[in-house]
Amino acid sequence: MKDSSKITANIGKFSDPAVTADGQVRATVALSRPETLWFNTGTLCNIACVNCYIESSPSNDSLVYISTAEVEDYLDQLEDRGWNVREIGFTGGEPFLNPDMIEMLRAALQRGYDVLVLTNAMLPMMRPAMRRGLQELNVAFPGRMTLRVSLDHWDRDRHDQERGAGSFDKSLKGMDFLRDAGIPMAVAGRALWHESDAAARDGYRRLFAERSYPIDATHPGQCVLFPEMDASAEVPEITTACWGILDTSPEAVMCSSSRMVVKRKGAEKPAVLACTLLAYDPQFELGTTLAEAERDVALNHPHCAKFCVLGGASCSA
């Protein structure tokens, strides 16, 4: 996998976890308010998007399918460590390619967690067994499971620029199923086309109204607009002084509230990462247990600055 931290625009930066290129103390973030534990279900996906942050595709199995037994082990660890998280998240790749997907959802729901699944709502989700399983879980655990559909733009052509011809209509077909089944859903879009936040939300609002999707386009948790994660763009490093300058705090950054479990190809055990966005950078791998993953995280990557601190984005609901 490419090392996106070694980009020409940021030469000299993001090389030392303790200090920035100009010698200032680099900002770190403690796991101060655990809210979400993420599981990457595997990097295989039915499509290959132009700007996929984790490079998912029909051939990328760098992160292999995680199993129900492995998920349950980490749910046990959650209880042992007393993290008191409210939410279990599943991301990929495309989660519904994982044959254990329904049972992993069931394992989390049975323990009382809310569940968030990031999906493109396309053919893997629409297989009969997956649709049946989702409907059964929604009946058994009403309102506790939300599927966040990746809809990069409210306009068909712009969405298809990222995800391939015909993908917009396939995702809408999946969303129609979720609507008709009464399964809670949200949308994740991208801020790619230089339109204002208000203009983008108005476009989604019109789409949701036209198709009777029960999604509030003005709600940042129901219609999430992510900044583009372009590692080739020059970004500033985050120092301890930045918290006061930017009028924000470490508690506002995603790694203060979440961790992600992945299973690397060839690995004996899953690993716990500091961030959902940095699956291939070894400095963000914290160990194989939640106990090891409780240590502070140095903001030593361009995504830390642009996506989390400056962009104010979070993958959780």
pLDDT tens digit string along 43-57? 999 999 988 889 999
* pLDDT given at position 194: 83
Report the predicted TM-score, pTM, of the whole model to 2 decimal places.
Answer: 0.93
Read off the tokens for 88: 């279990």
List residues bridging with 185 in a β-sheet: 147
* pLDDT given at position 160: 96
* pLDDT given at position 316: 62
* pLDDT given at position 10: 76
* pLDDT given at position 74: 98
Residue-range domains of the chain with CATH: 1-30+234-249+299-316 (no CATH), 31-226+254-298 (3.20.20.70)
Rounded-to-integer distance, Cα 45 and Cα 95, Å: 8
pLDDT under 50 in the chain at which residues?
A: 1-7
* pLDDT given at position 308: 87
* pLDDT given at position 1: 43
* pLDDT given at position 6: 44
* pLDDT given at position 223: 97
* Number of C-beta neighbours around residue 178 at 10 A: 23
* pLDDT given at position 310: 82
